[in-house]
Structure 1
Amino acid sequence: MKQVLQNLKTGRISVEEVPRPLVRPGRVLVRNQYSVISTGTEGGTVKLGQMSLLGKARARPEQVRKVINVVRTEGLLTAYQAATRTLSMPIPMGYSCAGRVVEAGEGVGAFKPGDLVACGGGGMAVHAEYVLVPKNLCVRIPPDVDLRLAAFTTLGAIALQSLRVARVGLGDKVVVIGLGLVGLLTADLLAAAGCLTLGIDTDPGRVGLAEERGMGPALTRGVDNLKERVLAFSEGRGADAVIITASSDNNDPVALAGELARHKGRVVVVGRTEINAPRDTYLFKELELCTSLAYGPGTGDPAYEEKGLDYPAAYVRWTENRNMAAFLDQLSQGRLRTGSFITHELPLVEAARAYDVITGQSREPHIAVLLSYPETAASESGRVALKAPAASPRPTSGTVRIGVLGAGGFATNFMIPTLSGLKGVELAGIASATGVRAGALGRKYGFSYCASSPMEVIEDPDLDAVFILTRHDTHAAYAVEALRRGRHVFVEKPLAMTLSELDSVVDARRETGLQAMVGFNRPFAALSGRLREFVAGRAQPMAIHYLANVGYRPPEAWIHDPVQGGGVIVGEACHFIDYCLWLTGSEPVEVQAWAMAGDASGLIPEDNVQVHLRFADGSLATVAYLSCGDPSPGRERIEVLAEGGLAVLVDFRDLVLNREGKKKRHRLRVIPDKGYAAEVETFIRAIRGEDASSGLFDRQVLSMRTTLLAVESMRQGRPMRVAHDIASSGAGKRTP
């Protein structure tokens, strides 16, 4: 199918061929018929992409701070490479569309194939021939509403939510600052609600277009005598409410709104503008300053948008979905003039020209620009060829043909660049949920095809191995599917989220005799080898303290989701538990874990955990996984004490070895080496039969079993005997 994408590095808009989305539970697959380009949001995104690197940095200081943190912990080169890859990744454009339902996923009972629906959501209701949208962001279109107008539903819901925040009613005098598309929709809804409106914009052209389309009085900022005109409009009192839909990099709209509002009036900010209210104006007029977020309650809540959980109407009357439906009701009753705002309608293939219009490059007067999707035979394939097939489908002798599942940050920044640099490896297929990232990475690194369905890759008979880099809850199932189809598997941690899943992978690997590896990369790091040499040949037990200072993550982060992420112990601390098993070379006999006690400060107990391990050779290890500290000085610190020696390894870039009063230091000065390349090379050699990697997978499985028991220990509040409790406990059972 065709989709509009933007290259954030250059700002270029293009229409690319990408795989059709794969239907998933709770989602609705829709064949688009119309979509609306948002002049403000999308226009701003295009302009950002056209800026220089310095301009982008100034416009997005929060991203600069993230890069600085990466520089501190990972090194300048790693930070530069990650930033470059992020900028080169295409961005899906659009968030308001209308079309016909093709298929409804499991758990979607409200829609069936053939239904006409309006859709919303950034990254979901995009400019593409097919879109996959969560059920709470889809609304059925009344039969008497033109699909062209229904495509405005998301933008209309944004405007409608600002009215609800402003609490306006019949007869109120309302000023709208900013006469772009959302501003005009806001004024139109105000009129339908019985309010009197006056519009203000800095662009005389917009003011003229607004008046031509029957909005009512509109004034040009800096030309008309605003204060006097607003006082006359409001019978000398000032506006009951001022709604700001303008975009600005300063607080001028907020300052102006304060001057125009009446005593005890309300100011609502919708547009992206600096919110820095003049103290005296807002204080002495006792003004109420509010912000209006997107389409209404539910915005940004994964439980509502992604999982489909609704808010009871008795407590939250107007959610995103109900605001969208209310806008469609107004269209159905003929109370809005939305159709008069359409100045351009272009087919999807002319999307680049459409963006030239909204960014002003074509110098055409405009308000709303509509993209149409002609009823042609759009590609319904979930697979797109990226290069011509070779004359022989099988690679040359010794070449390992690889498929990749997942195109997230880890795949983008670490695994795929590592794979692309290996000799004797052919990158065949790559799959991701939307297909957009898979297509971008596939083109960049020379994959043969991209897909939206993981099974497209797993079932490829010409593959030798599959790299599974998807969300945690899919790892075990995909590994079993790939092994049973004769593919070697590399699985990013965790290998599984329950003991039953773990056993299913172990059984499949044993039955097939194929190679399997878990992405526990740290033992392969360059300085890890020197650390192990330091404790090699010991006759006494050792003590290990592993500090993972990971930094705070909000409760809604996907790693905390018990279904998708599995929590931080299963999802991340397994790395460090495995490292302790590798370093001691001994089997764990007991594990106990404690979570920090939570309080009202926002501390997440499960993000602050200590895991104690006791090994068969008498060694002890403590893994402290903590999010309550500052990660900028360093994220990982390993201290090892054995036979009169002390070793300290920091972030896998600085190792200090102390023994008998002598100190030896090893430091990587460019970038830390966490072992990704050596890990993958070991796996590829094992596939070729050059390296049996004896015992490696068995240790990794034992690490996962120990990790699952650590979770159970934390739940039960007691130590777990590894050999006994693996069989007898409920470790690894998912909680709802």
Structure 2
Amino acid sequence: MKQVVQNYKSGELAVLDVPVPGCKPGGVLVRTAYSLISTGTELMKVSEAGMSMLGKARSRPDQVAKVMQSVATNGMSATYRKVINQLDSYTPLGYSLCGVVEQVGPGIDDVAVGDLVACAGNEHALHAELNWVPKNLYARVPDGLAPQHAAFGTVGSIALQGVRRGEPQLGEVALVIGLGLIGQLVVQLLVASGARVIGVDPDPARCELAERLGAEACGDPASAAVENSVAEITGGLGVDQVYLAAGGGSNQPVELAARLSRDRGRVVDIGKCRLDLPWNAYYEKELDVRFSRSYGPGRYDPEYELEGRDYPIGYVRWTERRNLACFLDLLARDNVDVEPLVSHVADFGDAVKTYQRLKDGELKAVAVLFRYPEAVEEGEAEAPSVAVPAVRRGTSVPAPARSGRAPVRLAFVGAGNYATSMLLPHLAQRDGVELSTVVTTTALSATNAQRKFGFARATTDLDAVLGDPSVDAVFVVTRHSSHAELTRKALLAGKTVFVEKPLALTEEELAGVLAAVEESGNDRLQVGFNRRFAPLLQEARKQFGARTGPASLRYLVNAGRLQHGSWYLQQSTEGTRFAGEGGHFVDTASWLLDADPTSVYAVATPGNEDLQVVLDYPDGSTATLSYVTSGPSGFPKETLDLVADGRALRLDDFVRASVYGRKRWVSSRLPKARDKGQSAELAAFVKAVRTGGPMPVPLESLVATTAATLAVRTSLVSGAPVTLARGR
């Protein structure tokens, strides 16, 4: 088998062929699916290996002390040989992984061959294809939890043990200094425990990531912003607890902790930073300084780790193994989200190159995963393939008979900003349309919409609307997490449905919508993909004409930063930003190329801030979607270029379009605001409802676009193209 090793004397990194470990009693042999690089601990070790002998000595004074003791005991010559022998040997890397049990040793009865487990330990959860793991250093992965996420189990346990040492109470305020991998996990765990969190890190990207994951405020330790935030949130009293998750030789974290703590506050050291405690500051506040020992009780105890002797739960509630199982449970229940922390997924064969890129600063990352060949070849759930569900309509239900003169009666579920600014203004004055009922979760918002747009009724009772036979169509314009379920209910109630994007946030939600179509026979569904209806883009497509060969399409979306507090940042419930908005751009590309995509490949900058998504199409056409949040606010939001057959189409942010070929066509600049197609889309939808004719966009296309959008996340996690397999 292959394993990543390092020579501490020379600094050499290598992937070596080594013997397969035996499956000893009291443990299991695990074939690795994903292992996690600790960008703090492991990179520190890699960097130290590249130092001179003097540099190594300076970085490890504890080891120097041991050497001096050996000199006094054994003499210089014997000590020198011993030290050189240890330095000039290959040592392993890694301590956090997820894999499949391949063999069970004697004395093990809690897992079986084929079970998925998360493993811990810098001697047992190594970057290697196979590892022998003793009983107390593995935990079964809960059903539904992806292996790449379960690979975070060990570092999650480190963060969890640190939080336990801080003993956070509901409503307390915590300061996390250092927002690397451990710090980001500490932030989420504190938020889950009911604490209010402030983060500190010199890296603005890491500060922004922590805020997305629940921190109320973050900032540079050198700025006044952090101190101002602490004063505002605590009323000038100081934080209840500080978590030192930073590394390095600076004493600044320890000094900052003392300055921002309240009287008798708690300071917990999780990372490996300098601890030159300023005596007066800590004495005057009588600060409680605590250390967190790695994954939890049992660490460094050979009887616990190697011999499997557990501590009685009545005396030690949270051991290494119980912490590991607890963190996996938190992941499975979406109390902690590690997906935003995954900066890069590398093939195990590229391990040396990946370490070098991290060391050189070329690859800036919070968390990096190694993906092992067997994880893909065995076709596990995370393999890069996504099924595009087949549309089965069951017994078709015809559109309800309507009088040609009767108005189309519409009900709205949700009356937020998009509904009231982009949809209702186009419908309120449209001939032949009656705004029947508006449903919201709060009575006042329903009343406001009724007053502003003339709804006949306002209510908070969804069932009353779905059961009203006079309502012809229902608009679902709520938060993303509710779209699929509300759409499913409306279809089963026999209503024609217009749902704003996205149709679904998961493959399961999409399957649920299609199950409702099959059960009810009602396929009267439209998703708010409005750009294909934009007059300017419609005209440009007409001027471009039909294609004979494959096309290349480039779509740049300058999405910009979201304001702090936006519900779009609630990824654990509302999905990623691209999952919510990306369908617009996939649909536009597919409409222009007149086909549904066959594969998706996505890459991202650290933190998944900026995405590059490549879509392949049946005729060889490709579309590249660049979805970026780091662009300037003054730059146009959407620019698109389509090239094929010696012709080119360009769209400049729905203000101007042009086509280059034998003849050149350039649109006139639009006299009014950008028209992204909402009015024409709604007109087509109302016409379909009135006449009972086909919906504006085939259901198969809506499903394909949704599946392709969801496949972006799968590709980011796997690091490979995702095939869109058509259902039958």
1:305 alignment counterpart: 305
CA offsets per residue over residues 309-333 of structure 1, 9 Å max, x none?
Answer: 1111111101111111110111111
Q: Is the 8 A contact 1:36 1:97 kept in 2?
A: yes
Q: Is the 8 A contact 1:34 1:371 kept in 2?
A: yes
TM-score in terms of structure 2 length:
0.50
Q: Is the 8 A contact 1:358 1:369 kept in 2?
A: no
1:274 alignment counterpart: 274
2:632 alignment counterpart: none
CA offsets per residue over residues 204-261 of structure 1, 9 Å max, x none?
Answer: 4433444466654211121344322221132321111111110132432122111111
**Helix, strand or coil for the counterpart of 1:63?**
helix
1:87 alignment counterpart: 87
Residues 317 and 125 of structure 1, relative CA distance in 2, 3 Å threshold: same
Letter in 1 for 2:156: G
CA offsets per residue over residues 537-587 of structure 1, 9 Å max, x none?
Answer: xxxxxxxxxxxxxxxxxxxxxxxxxxxxxxxxxxxxxxxxxxxxxxxxxxx
CA offsets per residue over residues 439-464 of structure 1, 9 Å max, x none?
Answer: xxxxxxxxxxxxxxxxxxxxxxxxxx
> Deviation at 1:80?
2.3
1:355 alignment counterpart: 355
Letter in 1 for 2:363: E
Question: Is 1:52–2:49 an aligned residue pair?
Answer: no
The number of equivalent residue pairs is 377
**Helix, strand or coil for the counterpart of 1:136?**
helix
Matches of 2:352 and 2:271, distance apart in 1:
25
1:371 alignment counterpart: 370
Query: Where do residues 277-356 of structure 1 align in structure 2 (5 Å cutoff)?
Result: 277-356=277-356
Residues 52 and 208 of structure 1, relative CA distance in 2, 3 Å threshold: farther
Q: Is the 8 A contact 2:30 2:132 kept in 1?
A: yes
Q: Is the 8 A contact 2:196 2:215 kept in 1?
A: no
Matches of 2:285 and 2:162, distance apart in 1:
21
Residues 164 and 72 of structure 1, relative CA distance in 2, 3 Å threshold: closer
2:196 alignment counterpart: 196
> Deviation at 1:82?
1.9
Letter in 2 for 1:164: R
Letter in 1 for 2:232: A
Q: Is the 8 A contact 1:205 1:365 kept in 2?
A: no
Question: Is 1:242–2:242 an aligned residue pair?
Answer: yes
1:3 alignment counterpart: 3
CA offsets per residue over residues 471-496 of structure 1, 9 Å max, x none?
Answer: xxxxxxxxxxxxxxxxxxxxxxxxxx
Q: Is the 8 A contact 2:4 2:127 kept in 1?
A: yes
Matches of 1:64 and 1:52, distance apart in 2:
14
Letter in 2 for 1:374: P
**Helix, strand or coil for the counterpart of 2:374?**
coil
> Deviation at 1:291?
0.4
1:28 alignment counterpart: 28
> Deviation at 1:69?
3.6
* Higher alpha-carbon deviation: 86-95 or 64-73: 64-73
Matches of 2:71 and 2:237, distance apart in 1:
55
Q: Is the 8 A contact 1:6 1:12 kept in 2?
A: yes
Matches of 1:11 and 1:188, distance apart in 2:
35
Residues 327 and 86 of structure 1, relative CA distance in 2, 3 Å threshold: same
> Deviation at 1:86?
1.0
Letter in 2 for 1:151: A
Identity of aligned residues (%): 43
1:473 alignment counterpart: none
Query: Where do residues 54-453 of structure 1 align in structure 2 (5 Å cutoff)?
Result: 54-211=54-211, 215-359=215-359, 361-375=360-374
Query: Where do residues 265-664 of structure 1 align in structure 2 (5 Å cutoff)?
Result: 265-359=265-359, 361-375=360-374
Matches of 2:13 and 2:50, distance apart in 1:
10
Residues 75 and 311 of structure 1, relative CA distance in 2, 3 Å threshold: closer
Matches of 1:344 and 1:125, distance apart in 2:
20
* Higher alpha-carbon deviation: 27-36 or 55-64: 55-64
Q: Is the 8 A contact 2:170 2:195 kept in 1?
A: yes
Root-mean-square deviation (CA, aligned residues, Å) is 1.8
Matches of 1:312 and 1:296, distance apart in 2:
14
> Deviation at 1:334?
1.1
> Deviation at 1:199?
0.8
* Higher alpha-carbon deviation: 229-238 or 136-145: 229-238
Letter in 1 for 2:158: I
Matches of 1:172 and 1:149, distance apart in 2:
29
**Helix, strand or coil for the counterpart of 2:24?**
coil
Matches of 1:316 and 1:101, distance apart in 2:
28
Letter in 1 for 2:99: G
Matches of 1:91 and 1:195, distance apart in 2:
40
> Deviation at 1:133?
1.0
Letter in 1 for 2:248: S
Matches of 1:272 and 1:165, distance apart in 2:
16
CA offsets per residue over residues 81-124 of structure 1, 9 Å max, x none?
Answer: 22221111111000000000011111112111111100001121
> Deviation at 1:358?
3.4
Q: Is the 8 A contact 1:245 1:270 kept in 2?
A: yes
Letter in 2 for 1:120: A
> Deviation at 1:7?
1.1
Structure 2 residue runs without a partner (length 5+)? 378-728
**Helix, strand or coil for the counterpart of 2:165?**
helix
> Deviation at 1:373?
0.5
